[in-house]
Structures are given as C-alpha cells and as structure tokens.
Structure 1
C-alpha cells in the first residue's frame, strides 16, 4: 500500500480555506488523481458536547478515524483536511492515531490581510455574527502566525483566484507528479 499522506489547510476565517479546500480536489479530479477530503466543520458536531470533551476533540478524532478507514478500504491514501487550527503544534498526533503511524503531513497556512478577511466575511455572514467572526478571525490570524508548525508553508490569498491558490497548495504536495511523492 502507498504511504498515507494528508495536506492540512489552515487559516483564519475569511481567508478562503474552505473554498481553496474544495478547489484542490477539483484540480486533482481533473488530473485523474485519487484523493479524499474532510472539512472539519462536518466532524464532531454534537450538542451538547460530552462533559469530559467540551471542544469535541475526541469525537472529531474518532469521526476522522472512522471516515479514513472507509477511504482506505476504497484504496485511497491522500487526504485534504481543512481546519482553522490544523497547522498548530500537536495536530500531528491526531493524524498518526487516526490515519496510522508514519502518515506524511504537509501543512499550509492560508493568509489574508486585515482588510481582505473582513471584506470576505461581510459577504458571507448575513446574520448577527459578523462582528464576532471578524474579531475571532483577527485573533486566530495572530495565533496562527505566531504558533504554526515551523514546516508550515504560508500561502497568501489576497488578490488571487482560488484556482491559483489551489495550484500553490498542490505544488506543496507533489501529488501531481508521477508517483505522487512529496
């Protein structure tokens, strides 16, 4: 079996993480390259959260492990995983447990300016959450910039198309190359 690999795509709200996260599989699909995608927003979503796991970390990991088992059974060994904080220290352990020891981990932090991110958020947040989202996005941008793993590639999104951003992300993985090794 091929070595399992995961591309972690992190970044603040409004950076284009989810949009780029869906463009990467589109480009892989066009190239005929097998892969799977997990958007963390769809994992661990339970309310109320378990009393001993208020951030639903354990259920998110259990969900990822279950989904990954299904993907592996289909013959997949590449995963695109989008989550705001996936590039922070400590994330590797979850992927080792969920996907197996020795999983190859690539990390990309999407970045956007303090002008771009709020503009994007104002286009998508139509309810009462805009101010909270903008403030949280700014906090997360600082946290991610200061604490991302040292091997994290930073990919600017300001003034760029999602196609260009996804191409940069795929360049980081080497998945389009023969053999697909990073």
Structure 2
C-alpha cells in the first residue's frame, strides 16, 4: 500500500491539534492504522535550527520507524506545513499521496481561542503576529490546498470533513 499523508496547517487558534486528535479518535474507532505527528515539536529549539532542515530530518527518522511497523497513513500538523508539502513528503522518502488542508478562522475567533490558552505580557504581540500570519498563509499557500473554515464549528464535524477528503474511512 502506498503511503498517504494529510497535512493540516493554519494559524494559531484554528484548531490544528484539536482536529488532529479528533481525526485520531475517529480513525481509531474505524480501526484505521495511522499516526499523528505534531510538526512543531520536530524543530522546537533555541537557537532555531531551521537552516539545517531539522524538521525534515526528524520527520524522516520518525516516519522510517512507523513504516517499519507497517504504518502507511500520517496526519501531520504544523502552521506552515501546507506551504511545504513537497519538502515534507520528500522527507518521508516514499512518495506519499498528499492531501493538504489549510484550516482558517477569522481574527476574532482565533484571538478568542488564543486568549483561553495564552498567558503573559507578550499576548498583544502574539495576537498581532498571528493575524499577520493568517494573511501570509492565505497569500502563500498553493491554490490546490483545501481551505476549511473552523469558525462556529465543532471539531467532530471538521475532522469528519477532513476524513472524507482523505478517503481513509472507506479503504
């Protein structure tokens, strides 16, 4: 079976992690073998190691371990993953079938969600950066990437939409 990957991207507060966890629950209930990788954890370091392609190198290592155990489906979350699908897929080393979704939310919705989980003196700066990031994502994400609004929607419905896009529930 050919590998498949679902890239889930979007600004902070759109629900990437929540949707991934719900997809995990739905796929588990269907007994569909899969893994979830939070891409933010693959190169979270100081100083920032981005110029060394550490996220891709770590993804290659982790995916090799999953592949050795027979996994062929991956859910990968990261803010900008939908802009770098080819590089991330290449790191997997097995030419996976790619589905990519940019989760979106308006500034008010994303800010309200972030206010529930973010503390500290740099909150205003974080909110401003997040709003700018949303506009950049919309501008620079390829047109072929699916867009999925998350405003006023429950995570179960969003995950079900993404599950339909992948076709993983039927095969």
Q: Same fold (TM over 0.5)?
A: yes
Whether the aligned pair in 2 keeps the contact of 1:4 and 1:99 (CA below 8 Å) is: no
TM-score relative to the length of structure 2: 0.94
Return closer, same or farther for 1:143/1:101 CA change in 2, 3 Å cut-off: same
Aligned equivalent of 1:8: 7
Aligned equivalent of 1:123: 116
- Give the Cα–Cα distance (whole angstroms) in 2 for the partners of residues 146 and 16 of structure 1: 20
Residue of structure 1 aligned with 2:160, choices 157, 161, 167: 167
- Give the Cα–Cα distance (whole angstroms) in 2 for the partners of residues 163 and 99 of structure 1: 28
TM-score relative to the length of structure 1: 0.89
Whether the aligned pair in 2 keeps the contact of 1:121 and 1:133 (CA below 8 Å) is: no
Shift of 1:56: 5.4
Question: Is it true that 1:94 corresponds to 2:93 in the alignment?
Answer: no
Whether the aligned pair in 2 keeps the contact of 1:25 and 1:37 (CA below 8 Å) is: yes
Query: Secondary structure of the equivalent of 1:115?
Result: helix
Residue deviations 1:52-101, cap 9 Å, x none? xx42551111110000001001100000000101111x4312321x2124
- Give the Cα–Cα distance (whole angstroms) in 2 for the partners of residues 139 and 118 of structure 1: 12
Question: Is it true that 1:140 corresponds to 2:133 in the alignment?
Answer: yes
Return closer, same or farther for 1:57/1:115 CA change in 2, 3 Å cut-off: farther
Whether the aligned pair in 1 keeps the contact of 2:7 and 2:85 (CA below 8 Å) is: no
Query: Secondary structure of the equivalent of 2:135?
Result: helix
Question: Is it true that 1:64 corresponds to 2:59 in the alignment?
Answer: yes
- Give the Cα–Cα distance (whole angstroms) in 2 for the partners of residues 119 and 80 of structure 1: 26
Aligned equivalent of 1:30: 29
Deviates more, 1:132-141 or 1:152-161: 132-141
Whether the aligned pair in 2 keeps the contact of 1:45 and 1:56 (CA below 8 Å) is: no
Select the structure that is richer in helix: 2
The 4+ residue runs of structure 1 with deviation greater than 6 A are none
- The gaps in structure 1 that reach 5 residues or longer are none
Return closer, same or farther for 1:57/1:112 CA change in 2, 3 Å cut-off: farther
Query: Secondary structure of the equivalent of 2:6?
Result: strand
Query: Secondary structure of the equivalent of 2:82?
Result: coil
Aligned length: 171
